[in-house]
Structure 1
Amino acid sequence: MFRRRIQTPVDSPVPVTDPKLGTTPGKGRPTPKRSESQGRRRSPMTAPSNRKEAYRLQRDRDRADRTRAREGMLRGEERYLQPRDRGPARKFAREWVDSRRLPGQYFLPVMLGIMILSMLPFPVEVRSIVLAVYSVSVPLVLVLVIPSSLYTSNKVKKEAAAKFPDENLKGVGFYAAMRALQIRPLRYPKPTVRPGGIPIPPKN
């Protein structure tokens, strides 16, 4: 009298009829779990077979970390900088120095050029002239460099104090003066502005 109803399982896929073919295509395989799908997408991790291989992999990782840190330091990224280079006041000091042509940056090239000239095998007459120029140029360059360094130190410290009143400015003036004595291509972190304050576009 009462017929028994046929219940379809809840998790059974509902058949879909293709109107073009007139048939019901089947999946042919069970639906994979999410964890299984993600596991297939991940690259397989192979453990080192021996201690030598483990050391090699560790050296490769350390080398990649050092390269990444060095490139980040050259770009001036805060997390890769040395403690003496960190902070907005130190960044301001670097940009202040790098945006100007100061006499101090020519100190080392001039001294190096004069030293090389003094060691070349010139004739006696020419050599005596070179040595005389060397003996006169050293105090002359120092006379130009010392006032420039004092000016740079005081100026940077004054402007940094006005721009960053809540920052610790201890040593920021000396930091700027020492950077001003360095040859521009050898400065670290690398300059981010050209003389005149024009930003240097980052390298790809």
Structure 2
Amino acid sequence: MFRRSSSAKQPSDAAPVEPDQPPATPEGPAGKGRPTPSRRDAEAARKQRLGALPADPKAARRREREAQRAGYDRSRQALKSGDERYYPARDQGKARAFVRDYVDGRFRLLELLMPLVVLSWLTLVTGRSGIIVVGELAMEVVVVVGLVLGVWLGFRVKRAVAAEFGQDEVRGSGFYAFSRALMPRFMRQPKPKVTMGGRPKV
């Protein structure tokens, strides 16, 4: 009769009720003051910081051509000045420098191949049958002799490169030597750095 209703009890150890908290947002720590950008916006901003190409395709192609032309001009000047830092890829490396010195260190009969081919071709435009026959025969002989000399030079160069730098550097060295030996000395690029006899230029 003197019992209290259970609903009227106020237990002293009940945890205080916290007010409703707003749901967590992806804005990051307090004080950021701006929403987190989307992945797409972040990628666009990153490309802009890195200097991405303009959206205009024509402007992009023009910019690419200008960069290629600048690289080509720099490589061409390097071939003339001897600055190995900007040589084309096919001329870079100690093995290629070794091949150039190997070819330039002595006179090669292959240097005469191009002038002889030109002379043989000139005989074909004279219109005289006797001269044409001689010119054709001379051209065939020159080409065959040139190929034989080129194969022999390539074999010797590959053997020398393998002994000096190892087998990994042999690939392409034979053709590189052959193509350089075909050019007259004054037309070779990069410019020769050794004199006849293999002595460095001073």
1:174 pairs with 2:175: yes
1:185 matched residue in structure 2: 186
From 90, 93, 96, give the equivalent of 2:99. Answer: 93
From 80, 87, 94, give the equivalent of 1:81. Answer: 87
Residue pair 2:120, 2:136 contacting (<8 A) in 1 also: no
Secondary structure in 1 matching 2:169 = coil
Following superposition, the deviation at residue 115 of structure 1 comes to 1.9
In the TM superposition, what are the counterparts of 1:44-59 in structure 2 within 5 Å?
none
Q: For 1:98-120, what per-residue CA distance to the aligned partner results, in whole angstroms no more than 9, with x for missing partners?
A: 11222222111111122234335
Structure number, greater radius of gyration: 2
Higher RCO by CA contacts (8 Å cutoff, separation 6 or greater): 1
Residues 136-145 or 148-157, more deviating? 136-145
Residues 176-185 or 88-97, more deviating? 176-185
For structure 2, the 5+ residue unaligned runs are 1-68
For structure 1, the 5+ residue unaligned runs are 1-62
Relative to the length of structure 2, the TM-score reads: 0.58
What one-letter code is carried by the residue in structure 1 that aligns with 2:142?
A: V
Following superposition, the deviation at residue 175 of structure 1 comes to 0.9
1:70 matched residue in structure 2: 76
2:117 matched residue in structure 1: 111
Secondary structure in 1 matching 2:143 = helix
Following superposition, the deviation at residue 136 of structure 1 comes to 0.9
Q: For 1:111-132, what per-residue CA distance to the aligned partner results, in whole angstroms no more than 9, with x for missing partners?
A: 1122234335xxx6xx233212
Residue pair 2:82, 2:190 contacting (<8 A) in 1 also: yes
Following superposition, the deviation at residue 192 of structure 1 comes to 1.4
Moved over 4 A (4+): 63-69
Residue pair 1:102, 1:148 contacting (<8 A) in 2 also: no
Equivalent pairs: percent with the same residue?
Answer: 34
What's the C-alpha RMSD, in Å, of the aligned pairs?
A: 2.5
Residue pair 1:97, 1:179 contacting (<8 A) in 2 also: yes
Following superposition, the deviation at residue 68 of structure 1 comes to 6.0
Secondary structure in 2 matching 1:200 = coil
Following superposition, the deviation at residue 69 of structure 1 comes to 4.7
Residue pair 1:103, 1:144 contacting (<8 A) in 2 also: no
Q: Distance in 1 between matches of 2:108 and 2:192?
A: 14
Following superposition, the deviation at residue 176 of structure 1 comes to 0.8
Relative to the length of structure 1, the TM-score reads: 0.58
Q: Distance in 1 between matches of 2:181 and 2:121?
A: 21
> Relative to structure 1, is the Cα distance of residues 117 and 186 closer, same or farther in structure 2, using a 3 angstrom cutoff?
same
> Relative to structure 1, is the Cα distance of residues 65 and 140 closer, same or farther in structure 2, using a 3 angstrom cutoff?
closer
